[in-house]
């Protein structure tokens, strides 16, 4: 693993318990009971990183058995629903591919007078005229934000 001088300097500033294992690929994490010293050598960022590496994770709240069963059912129903959506999408795509292949097989062969139809249909046209228009909206993973105006965030040239 190659390290530059800055990385080596930052790692050497960390306390012994929080140093990252250079030999292995996974970082080694330990928790010390004493708080990090405030007046240590180094810059503010290094001290913040040391505190972040040395901090203990927050404990999860204890759940009652009813909450555990409810969360289990919610997760189970979510997974079942996602499987149904996944299967529906892939079934639809498989049907479309099967129909496309059938349509290609039904086109005139190369021996017919209409063989040019097959070659024209199988040719992929990548010209700008066949692209969707730029104003067409595209599907996104997140729903649109209410009252969001992108014009407010555009930079205006003041020449």
pLDDT of residue 85: 94
114-125: pLDDT as tens digits: 888 888 888 888
Structure token digits, residue 121: 């249909």
88-142: pLDDT as tens digits: 999 999 999 999 999 988 888 777 778 888 888 888 888 888 887 888 877 777 7
């Amino acid at each position: 693993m190659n390290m530059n001088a800055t990385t080596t300097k930052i790692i050497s500033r960390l306390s012994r318990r929080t140093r990252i294992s250079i030999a292995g690929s996974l970082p080694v994490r330990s928790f010390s009971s004493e708080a990090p010293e405030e007046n240590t050598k180094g810059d503010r960022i290094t001290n913040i990183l040391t505190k972040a590496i040395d901090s203990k994770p927050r404990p999860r709240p204890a759940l009652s058995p009813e909450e555990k069963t409810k969360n289990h059912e919610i997760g189970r129903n979510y997974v079942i629903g996602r499987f149904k959506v996944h299967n529906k999408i892939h079934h639809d795509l498989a049907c479309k591919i099967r129909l496309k292949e059938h349509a290609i097989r039904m086109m005139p062969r190369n021996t017919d007078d209409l063989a040019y139809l097959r070659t024209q249909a199988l040719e992929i046209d990548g010209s700008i005229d066949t692209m969707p228009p730029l104003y067409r909206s595209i599907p996104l993973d997140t729903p649109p934000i209410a009252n969001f105006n992108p014009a407010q965030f555009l930079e205006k040239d003041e020449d």
